[in-house]
Structure 1
């Protein structure tokens, strides 16, 4: 019995010892873990939340934003520091707000101007890239996967989006990553959106282009400063919404095409070039009796006035837009010099404005092609293989209105780092394309073509102008068998002291005087009103 009691005692003692050891070990382990947690909690971290997206701005010539002009409010929210229901009242999209809030993690949401900042709510005013009133959409272009895909957005993609500091708010965190409310926050409000590209476009003139061209189904308007060649307005029709590109792609009118850069049959506006070549070659006194038709090696060419204009000199022929006069005039010219004149005036040459925005060179027939009499006859009044862009026609008009010195057209004025000062401005390049006397003669012809034509619809009510219209045959016909013609007008104003050159093209628009001239007139009158307001 004694032995059994001893054995029993040993067992009890061993059990007690084991239990004590287990408790001690557990305590030591707990203490170790707690010490580790204390160390972890003492090590502070940082959580940073990016708010909105900041991209550079495209400005007009007067440093007025063409994009990023509207703003919206974006808030950074920390759920554990906010009341769910009351804060939701400030959200533009309440349902989305509640979904994000319930995740318990910091998030951003668009809010109203009723929201107030607190420890858990930080509000940023951020630019809206595009707006419903977005001007110059074809010039500015659009984004794809947040990269510039067209226009200025493409040409200056890296400048507008590369390495730009973004709006952010940073919070201190504990060792478990929990945000420490009441421990302060660091807020960075980026002003990098102020940097960007400054265009030659004038926002007010661009709006005039777009307003006056609202009735154009497909076409383009270009306005340039005759001395500098700076493009003040450039609009293509129809326009499109950069946020709804699928709709634009499915539109049969192809609104993504910038028609100011696209080449078309020119028609009678080219008579200005024929006249310039004639003046240069000493043929300014040429006379011709228009009977309504003329034959060139067996092929008949008709004047639009079937019974003829009678005796015509060059200025009268320009006013009457007499086709047969210019055909016979061209046959009297040195063809090589005639073609060279057209080349010097920019036909057959691209207008490079910036990367991705280049006007087509169009088609300037070769000397071999023009050696065929019928092709030369077509060339004389802007038909046949000849094509050109609204940009090229505008440049010619600049040369005439600027006393024979034709400027190189430009679209980009420079860059800005702060939305105030402009750097990298380039001087205008001028090319002497005709004598001052020849340019003056052509200028007077264009003024006379409007002033002495009783039927001219280019006559402004408030602005004196000089212009030439065109109805360019295309060789295409509608369902009724009627030939489709492009309506053109190019001109300048004021008449005596020209400042602006304007070209209007209406694709398949019909007669230039009926379709394009009223648009030109409205533009001239609106710009006159704009000038009066500025003074």
Structure 2
């Protein structure tokens, strides 16, 4: 048969393609067979052991760590590359060490400072999230399943627990997962924990407040910078251990509650608001003769001194905490303006600190409620439906000591990536809530309320202060039928050039001068040593 030239070319190409495909396929199977026959021990892989979980740090205002402040030495041991008995000498818990060592697998254990590294032993300094002497627990919060569940831990969980690299050591292994000896190791030591959140809290002041408040069963202490509104300390009592949350949850005194954010009956510290409005309305020079009681629309209101204080100026009435003076004073004031003054000073308004940490607005009676004479009388000296948080009372004191400028309270200073510098820092914000002259008059009255009161327990040894105490009736009684009262004091120091505002609140603590004032005095004395 005669074939055409074109057909002959197709046959040649087909044959060439078939031969090439056969050769390639044969080589593929030969290589695969060779790889299959390589001993497993020669097929190397990498084994990595991570130590701890790297978490960002929460810092105080001076860049001192509040979390990750302490470290423990953790060692990673490879049994095949270490001596059992010699290495055990470095273990803090030898029984646990032997138990893990005898399993034959790489493991970590807490070691002493005497331990030294070798190919089979790698030592890391691992930050501990919380310390035994942990401060600012109600501010920092706590973790649940290694995620932020409360406080700053919760608010900044995504930053504090970002995908940071952990401390680790890596070894080459054979195909059976056995570590290859003699090939060395690769060690990574992370410093990502330096990233984090910077607070306005001052670690030293926080510790002073916590130490001075140890005798408080339930209550709170707040300290703020008068000009900036930065919260330098916020302590709540009772305290708790973030490592023992189950115990805290079973405690009937509810230690997990941050009482600085909760509102309570206020009492006489509110007289400062009534006095501020009176001065603004030109009624600051009113003099009143306290006889021990007064009649308001048929209802009798008693002063705490039943036989009366006698003739009282506003300053004397604040010093003596004369209820009837302020009741009579309120009858001369514009109801709407008095309520507005209280609102402008922070009553009835939340204090937003960060996500999940918001100070309650408390209760500021409505104008309709205050139109009832008895309600207005109670309101004038801080009783009735009125309630406020320790944060709000501290903000009031800041406003008075800062020339009538109310600063916005701040807890979060900013963020850091290196543990040395602060980014995203916000500027101080404030509003003028009373005239500078009114604030100055109130400041002097608060100084006299301590200096001229021979019974004042707020007097300090090292400097002069200004303060106002309060014994707030709750309308509740104890098992003995005695009335329960909250003890308050709010004040500032140094007196001449105020720098700090401090509020001490003791739930059901009794008299403000007996219970809260001594704590305030201790705090002021201790803080005077810092400057």
SS at match of 1:224: strand
Q: What's the counterpart of residue 23 of structure 1? A: none
Alignment of structure 1 residues 402-421 onto 2, 5 Å: 402-421=402-421
CA distance in 1, matches of 2:515, 2:105: 61
CA deviation vs aligned residue, 1:427-448 (integer Å, no higher than 9, x gap): 0101100000000010011011
Q: What's the counterpart of residue 49 of structure 1? A: 49
Q: What's the counterpart of residue 258 of structure 1? A: 258
Q: Does 1:135 align with 2:103?
A: no
CA distance in 1, matches of 2:116, 2:366: 71
CA deviation vs aligned residue, 1:477-535 (integer Å, no higher than 9, x gap): 0111110100000000010100000000011111000110111111111111121xxxx
CA deviation vs aligned residue, 1:34-84 (integer Å, no higher than 9, x gap): 973425443321001101222111111000111111110111111111112
Q: Does 1:342 align with 2:342?
A: yes
CA distance in 1, matches of 2:250, 2:176: 52
Q: What's the counterpart of residue 331 of structure 2? A: 331
CA distance in 2, matches of 1:317, 1:525: 27
Alignment of structure 1 residues 173-184 onto 2, 5 Å: 173-184=173-184
Q: What's the counterpart of residue 484 of structure 1? A: 484
CA distance in 1, matches of 2:41, 2:489: 77
CA distance in 2, matches of 1:157, 1:95: 36
CA distance in 2, matches of 1:160, 1:227: 30
Segments of 5+ residues of structure 1 without an aligned counterpart are: 1-31
TM-score by length of 1: 0.92
Q: What's the counterpart of residue 152 of structure 1? A: 152
Q: What's the counterpart of residue 24 of structure 1? A: none
CA distance in 1, matches of 2:325, 2:372: 18
Alignment of structure 1 residues 156-167 onto 2, 5 Å: 156-167=156-167
CA distance in 2, matches of 1:238, 1:199: 22
Q: What's the counterpart of residue 522 of structure 2? A: 522
Q: What's the counterpart of residue 83 of structure 1? A: 83
Alignment of structure 1 residues 327-406 onto 2, 5 Å: 327-406=327-406
CA distance in 1, matches of 2:491, 2:35: 86
Q: What's the counterpart of residue 66 of structure 2? A: 66
CA distance in 2, matches of 1:211, 1:108: 37
SS at match of 1:530: coil
CA distance in 1, matches of 2:77, 2:37: 28
CA deviation vs aligned residue, 1:73-96 (integer Å, no higher than 9, x gap): 111111111112221222222222
1:308: Cα distance to partner? 0.7
1:352: Cα distance to partner? 0.4
1:116: Cα distance to partner? 1.2
SS at match of 1:241: coil
CA distance in 2, matches of 1:209, 1:43: 62
CA distance in 2, matches of 1:494, 1:86: 60
Query: Greater CA deviation, 144-153 or 74-83?
Result: 74-83
CA distance in 1, matches of 2:322, 2:181: 83
Q: What's the counterpart of residue 472 of structure 2? A: 472
CA distance in 1, matches of 2:248, 2:146: 18
1:112: Cα distance to partner? 1.3
Pairwise CA RMSD: 1.2
Q: What's the counterpart of residue 4 of structure 2? A: none
Q: What's the counterpart of residue 202 of structure 2? A: 202
Q: What's the counterpart of residue 247 of structure 1? A: 247
Q: What's the counterpart of residue 461 of structure 2? A: 461
Alignment of structure 1 residues 184-199 onto 2, 5 Å: 184-199=184-199
CA distance in 2, matches of 1:104, 1:524: 59
CA deviation vs aligned residue, 1:258-298 (integer Å, no higher than 9, x gap): 01111000000000000011111111111211100001111
1:178: Cα distance to partner? 1.4
CA distance in 1, matches of 2:478, 2:529: 39
Q: What's the counterpart of residue 236 of structure 2? A: 236
SS at match of 2:328: helix
| Count of residue pairs brought into register by the alignment | 500
Cα 1:111–1:37 change in 2 (3 A) is farther
Q: What's the counterpart of residue 497 of structure 2? A: 497
Q: What's the counterpart of residue 103 of structure 2? A: 103
Query: Greater CA deviation, 89-98 or 132-141?
Result: 89-98
Q: Does 1:439 align with 2:439?
A: yes
SS at match of 2:529: helix
1:160: Cα distance to partner? 0.7
1:104: Cα distance to partner? 1.5
CA distance in 1, matches of 2:452, 2:172: 79
CA distance in 2, matches of 1:162, 1:481: 54
CA distance in 1, matches of 2:183, 2:189: 20
SS at match of 1:38: coil
Q: What's the counterpart of residue 28 of structure 1? A: none
CA distance in 2, matches of 1:59, 1:35: 55
CA deviation vs aligned residue, 1:109-148 (integer Å, no higher than 9, x gap): 1111121111111100011111111000100010000010
Segments of 5+ residues of structure 2 without an aligned counterpart are: 1-31
